[in-house]
Amino acid sequence: MNNKRRKQIKEVQNQLSGIREELHSILCDEDEYLCNMPEGLFSSSEKSMVAQENVGDLQFSVDAVDELIDTLKGVIERKHI
């Protein structure tokens, strides 16, 4: 891979890092909302079920972006054979 493409991938990596931070912030906010939900509402509410699903999906998304960033790091660091 030439330096131009490496630089392009690094730029994408930086953009993904920003997206990851935004997703993580949203995840923390949703988790805080869920944790602060009153006990009665938490155990019987559709809102709590939706919030739990949101937390799970957001965590999955953060993990997926982390994996993508790591994969791109491997592409950048790979040596020519």
Q: Give the span between the Cα atoms of 1 and 3, in whole angstroms.
A: 7
- Sign for the CA dihedral angle at 55, 58, 62, 68 comes to positive
Helix axes 3-35, 46-77, angle to 10 degrees: 160
Q: In the chain, which ranges are continuous DSSP H helix? A: 3-35, 39-44, 46-77
3 state SS of 1: coil
- What's the predicted TM-score (pTM) here? 0.86
Q: How many CA atoms lie within 13 A of 76 on its CB side?
A: 16
Residue pLDDT tens, the chain, 81 long: 888 999 999 999 999 999 999 999 999 999 999 999 888 777 778 888 999 999 999 999 999 999 999 999 999 988 765
